[in-house]
Structure 1
Amino acid sequence: MDGQLIAFTGVAAGMIALPGADFAVVVRNALDSRRAGVATAIGVAGGLLVHTALAVAGLAAVLVAVPALFGAVQLLGGAYLLYLGGRALLALRRRPAAAGGEHATGPDAAPDGAGPAARLGTAQGLRQGFLTNALNPKAPVLFLSLLPQFVPADQPALPRTLLLATMIVVMALVWFPAVALLVDRLGGWLRRPKVSRALEAATGFLLTALGGILLVEVVLA
């Protein structure tokens, strides 16, 4: 039995399941609709595919070795998270605060009570999930340092690294859609005005905080 592969499975699963920007975006969009949540989840996995492919190709090392390039990616990532967080907080202002029940709370309801036409589209969900993950500047560093640790010295590096990268993407394709479906399954409760406002506020503040941290790191670098 491959002990290193088992260990990598545990490390990768914990890394993917750890709540962060990806998790927040998937939850927020899943509250909008099941389709938007699943699309966002697939977009996140697509972003991970980019990072793992770069790590396998060795291009992540270039990103790490060129501070200006790394800083540019960090600046874009931080700005995008601030944008998503700002949108969430603006949506919070439009969301009804009272639990009067005048707005629809089913899976077809828009978060601001505007009806189905205001719901997030599949393409928007894919784009938000992909960009949230792909513009994470810490991911190339993580994969570049993580993957080689689980490549045995007596095995060719490329096939093994490809296997590890594939495992990460597959785990993401299982975990994030599962989160989206769970949020949708609990939608009747989660879409209650008070609960949905609390979730909108939490995801908005989390995304804003993560984006702010990235931008501060660029300034202080």
Structure 2
Amino acid sequence: MPFRPSLTENDIALLKRRTLVRIVDDDAELRDALQFLLEVEGWRVASYGSAEDFLKSDAPSVPGCVVLDVRMPSLSGLEAQERMNDLGIRLPIVFLTGHGDVDMAVSAMLDGAADFILKPIDNERLLGSIARAAYRSLSDSDGPPPPAEARRRLETLTERETEVAKLLAQKLANREVAERLEIALRTAETHRAAVLRKLGVRRTDEIAALFEAARDAHP
């Protein structure tokens, strides 16, 4: 399961003040309905009728997330995700689709998507996914999480995953991790994927930052 932080009302209020939700969908009626829903809930919203407009006009330095339709003319949602990755835009994506399938969802999640939601949309699930995605984005922009949160994340790892995480924090490659722990390369790769998923990070330097932050946590 992906990392799902437990957010308090104060957390949500902070996210609504400091993040921006981008809606990217060529369906104007749905786009307007989603914008109305989010604004009523207190979120800051920007909407775009195409992925091209979003990529051209958005300010990716502002933390938040992208609610992105999969099937759009010209540049699809999945193609937009690839373009974002190529450009180094790390905003979490909540995909919307009326034509989802397992392979599409798996591909999107492996490329860093925060969630994959089928239409008709469950508003409560969408709001929850947006909150978690915005939290991840704000945490990334602010640096490592508070010490107690860093420690809590690390405690979700198994003993073997903790060993792998410590080696990854030293910038060791998968093959070096496998050699140090005397395990198969494929096993090391599987543990690495589990570590990144459980800790809610995407890079090994973020693992090192979590260990550093956790040292300051009270017992």
TM bucket (normalised to shorter chain) is under 0.3
| Structure with the larger strand share | 2
TM-score norm. by structure 2 comes to 0.28
TM-score norm. by structure 1 comes to 0.27
